[in-house]
């Protein structure tokens, strides 16, 4: 273990170094009770698995002063859009980046100072209380309303489609 320079040490004491454990004779197997054999399970309400998903919670704060929420609570908008951003990141098999959150907030018009009235009514209806863990099903419905094909587009393409017809990025 490392020690500060001012701690006296015995100069003749042998220094320990790292030694790797002996090589395993066979390959690793998922044979314990909690191990998942094969691939990550998928299905209804299992979400989209991806690496380092918690990083999106750090990135979302960069949008706080740019969001146009209307009557939607900020926590609700952030929770739902983080989930959509994680779907986009997982579809690429990577950790979330700022562009994933930009895409999610663009799809729902939170970056638009004057979103379409019908979209505002839709947001107020479906985003209510989704930040609460009790409303996981409603949050998943918001995520499922954005098809993966829409999320795989570039930010510019998502923005252009939003500006021409906001419904084109959603599967309502």
Spatial contact of 108 and 81, defined as CB atoms under 8 Å apart: yes
Half-sphere exposure of 29 (CA within 13 A, CB side): 4
Considering the domain boundaries, does residue 8 fall inside one?
Answer: no
- Tokens representing residue 55 in the block: 């990083």
Residue 166 neighbours by CB under 8 Å, 6+ apart: 109, 115, 116, 119
Has residue 28 got a pLDDT over 80?
Answer: no
pLDDT at 146: 95
Domain span at residue 97 reads 55-169
Q: What is the pLDDT of residues 65-118, one digit of tens each?
A: 999 999 999 999 999 999 999 999 999 989 999 999 999 999 999 999 999 999
Nearest Cα neighbor of 166 from 78, 81, 91, 106 is 106
The two tokens of residue 101 are 């959150």
Residue 78 lies in a domain: yes
Return the percentage of the chain with pLDDT > 70, whole number.
97
Number of domains the chain contains: 1
pLDDT of 1 strictly over 70: no
Is the residue at 7 inside a domain?
no
Whether residue 5 is predicted with pLDDT greater than 70 in this model: the reply is: yes
Q: Tell me what pLDDT residue 20 has.
A: 77
Distance from C-alpha of 143 to C-alpha of 91, rounded to nearest angstrom: 13
Q: Is residue 50 part of a domain?
A: no
Determine, yes or no, domain membership for 85. yes
The pTM for the full model equals: 0.75
């Amino acid at each position: 273990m490392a020690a500060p320079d001012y701690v006296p040490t015995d100069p003749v004491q042998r220094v320990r170094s790292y030694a790797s454990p002996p090589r395993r004779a066979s390959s690793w197997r998922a044979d314990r009770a909690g191990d998942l054999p094969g691939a990550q399970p998928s299905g209804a309400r299992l979400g989209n698995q991806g690496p380092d998903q918690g990083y999106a919670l750090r990135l979302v704060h960069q949008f706080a002063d740019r969001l146009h929420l209307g009557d939607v609570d900020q926590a609700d908008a952030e929770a739902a859009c983080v989930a959509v951003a994680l779907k986009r990141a997982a579809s690429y098999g990577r950790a979330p980046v700022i562009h994933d959150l930009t895409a999610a907030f663009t799809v729902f018009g939170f970056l638009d100072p004057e979103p379409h009235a019908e979209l505002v009514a839709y947001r107020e209806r479906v985003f209510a209380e989704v930040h609460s863990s009790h409303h996981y099903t409603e949050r998943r419905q918001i995520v499922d309303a954005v098809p993966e094909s829409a999320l795989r587009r570039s930010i510019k393409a998502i923005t252009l489609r939003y500006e021409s017809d906001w419904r084109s990025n959603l599967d309502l």
